[in-house]
Amino acid sequence: MIKKSTYIPAVARIVLIGLSCLLAFTGNSLAQNRKKVEILHCDVLDFNEHIIANAQRLLGNVNITVDGALMWCDSLYSYTNNMVDAFGNVHIVRGDTLNMFADFVNYNGDTKLAKARRHVKLIDKQVTLTTDSLDYSMVNDLASYNYSGTVKDSTNVLTSVIGQYYVNQKKAYFKTKVDGVTKDYKIKSDTLIYFTNSKKVFIEGPTHIFNEKDTLYAEYGWYDSMKSYAKLTKKPRIWNIKQNVKADSIFYDKEKGEGLAMGHARIQDTENSIIVLGNQVQYNDLTKIASASDSAVLIQYSKTDSLFLHADRLRTMPDTIPLKKPVLILKETLVKKDISVIKGGPTKKKSTKKFIKTAATVSDTLTSAISQHEAQAVKPISKDTLTSGVVVPDSLTSVASKNESLAVKPLKSDTLKLGTALGDSLKTDSLAANTMKNARLVLAYYNVRFFRDDLQGKCDSLAYWSKDSTIQLYTNPVIWSGKNQISANYIEMINRSKDPKEIHMNDDAFIISMDDDSLRFNQIKGKNMIGYIRLNKLNKIDVNGNGQSNYYAHDDKGEIIGLNKAESSNITIYMNEGKVKKIVFIKSPDGELKPMADIEDGDKLLPGFNWQAELRPKNKEDIFRSPLPGSPKLTLPKAITNPTQEKPLE
């Protein structure tokens, strides 16, 4: 028994010794992983468990190192659990550039986290972060605050409720009530990231960037505050007092003034009441030039109506060109007068009139027209012939007034109803002359189609001058208004602030007016025509060259009495309330009034008749429709077909 009892304590002692060695080894290993506080200087070093347990007290001009950082303070407690509390004028230096100041710092050597409180300032070269509560991780050099802070560098100041500063990446993250001030703009945001080296701001929430003139909004993107360059990709908008831009994404270079809007882009010119739409819109704030493509639309709006225009490409620019616009100039020198004023039809008469014509060639495309416009001045269009008193139609009027036998009473039976509809298409409330200094020139290229409630049209290219509300239509243009159709190789609509307004139709001009019963068509054609509009009603039409007319005459009861067919080199038609008041035929007039029973199918349509209803835009959405080549057109070889019935009406 003695041996046994003696043997057991001996084994126990061996085990205890082994455990002690193991624990001692483990403790030494853990101690080696911890970087202890190294005291460089203090005025007083004290240990008093009655004041604080398990801690050394360092008082006066304290200077220590901890985890590779230098620290100065007024007093410090160094705990046995590898923590320190620093009090008063705390200053920490990490590396060559990072300095932190605070009234109090708690540092945990195990987590390597410094908690700085009250009057905290973190300085990293030219970047200064100030707050009252900051946590700094020595592991990844990350400073965080949750109770409001400010980051300031040489050019920008940004504040937020929540923030982080990544020292190594020079990256500041701001969250909640973000406010910023740059050299040119102010910023208000929900979430921002700011790189202090590149001065780039990354938007990650609803953000406004603005100054006294311009405002930029987006919910995602980035902005270079040094170069004033922005890329905005979520709900972006840019606006000022004169312009409003929005799209799916916007790229903007303020120094160059260049912008690109992609996807559902919209530019509104509030000064000129113009909106440009497209899936790709480019604009320049310096040149004030904008262009749109891919579903491009121009909208000219007013209090009463809006014009919707579509083309393959749209351009707008300042209307600063002082020269006259590229239009056909037609001079006529009257040698001898040969006038025939009719009621019911002209009479044959020999011509003694000689014409001398000079013309500026009309450009086939808008591009060449603008080039011509910039290259040389074109002589101005002759004024309203009712007031100028110098060109042919005025002399006709004066002769008619001197010779009572030539005067004719209004033709109540004539129903060439062009005046009201075409006059209303140039309403002053929707296309009033724009006298402002920032007037615009709008150019539309290729496959142009437009719609307004009272006016529709199509052409290859178009120019609109907002200064005087002139519209130029190039290459096979057609305009519809009510039951009327105007066509020519070139059309110009001049909308002056004072009457008369004018419609110029050059080369193969043709006016068609559908009769009230939609079964017959009144027609006027000629080489060139000018329509004069007073009080929003067509007052007079001058047909210059190869004039022809077909119109149905009615008696006083409104019954059709026949078809009035007439030809003359030049024709002047005077209108009253949309009806023919008087027709003046000049040079070799020829015509007759055919009773209804004598009218043959070939009499009903003038050569070149082309009622193009299938091309007419029906609404603002229909401007995108591209009628296929070879679409059915209205032809009347034997009978006029009512479009509402399947069978032709004899």
The tens digit of pLDDT for each residue in 453-485 reads: 988 999 999 998 877 788 999 999 999 988 889
In a domain, 211, yes or no: no
User: Which runs of E-coded beta strand occur in 138-211?
Assistant: 142-145, 149-152, 157-160, 162-166, 171-181, 186-195, 200-203, 207-210
pLDDT value at 15 more than 80:
no
- Residue 613 tokens, joined: 């209803």
Residue 559 has φ and ψ, to the nearest 5°, of -85, 140
* Tokens of residue 160, six digits: 């937020």
Tell me the mean pLDDT in the region 130-153.
95
Kindly tell me the burial class for residue 212, based on how many C-beta atoms sit within 10 Å of its own C-beta (0-12, 13-18, 19 or more): exposed
Q: Worst-scoring range by mean pLDDT, 130-134, 180-184, 382-386, 461-465?
A: 382-386
* CB-based contacts of 413, cutoff 8 Å, min separation 6: 553, 554, 555, 556, 561
* pLDDT tens readout for residues 223-241: 888 888 889 999 999 899 9
Instruction: Tell me the DSSP string of 511-562.
Output: EEEE-TTSS-EEEEEEEEEEEEEETTEEEEEEEEEEEEEEEEEE-TTS-EEE
| pLDDT at residue 328, as a whole number | 35
Q: How confident is the model at residue 583 (pLDDT cuts 50, 70, 90)?
A: confident
Residue 60 lies in a domain: yes
State residue 466's pLDDT score: 79
Mean pLDDT of 610-632: 83
Helix (H) or strand (E) holding 4: helix 2-33
Distance CA 36, CA 39 (A): 9
pLDDT of residue 580: 74
Burial of 141 (0-12, 13-18, 19+ CB in 10 A): middle
Inform me whether the pLDDT recorded for 192 exceeds 90.
yes
Q: Give the mean model confidence (pLDDT) for residues 563-591.
A: 84
411 within some domain: yes
Per-residue confidence at 128, pLDDT binned at 50, 70, 90? very high
191 within a domain of the structure (yes/no): no
Contacts of 7 (CB under 8 A, 6+ apart): none
Consecutive H or E run containing 419: helix 419-424
Q: What is the mean pLDDT of residues 68-74?
A: 94
Per-residue confidence band for 612, with pLDDT thresholds at 50, 70 and 90 = very high
Q: Is 496 helix (H, G, I), strand (E, B) or coil?
A: coil
pTM here? Answer: 0.69
DSSP string, 389-442: -SSHHHHHHHHHHH-GGG-----TTB----HHHHHHTT-TTTS----STT-EEE
Q: How much is the mean pLDDT over the chain?
A: 77
Residue 244 in domain = no
User: Model confidence at 145, in pLDDT bands (50, 70, 90)?
Assistant: very high
Domain count, the chain: 2
The amino acid at residue 194 is Y
| 17 occurs within a structural domain | no
Q: Which residue, of 100, 121, 147, is where some domain finishes?
A: 147
How much is the average pLDDT of 591-595?
89
Host domain of residue 92: 33-147
Which of 147, 176, 200 terminates a domain? The answer is 147
Asked whether residue 602 is domain-assigned, the answer is yes
CATH code, domain with 128: 2.60.450.10
Identity (one letter) of the amino acid at 94? R
Tell whether the model's pLDDT for residue 487 goes beyond 60: yes
Is 256 among the domain residues?
A: no
- Which of residues 126, 147, 168 is at a domain's end? 147
CA end-to-end span of the chain = 143
What pLDDT, on the 0 to 100 scale, is given for residue 414?
A: 44
* 170: pLDDT strictly greater than 80: yes
Q: What is the mean pLDDT of residues 345-359?
A: 33
> 230 with 220: CB under 8 angstroms?
no
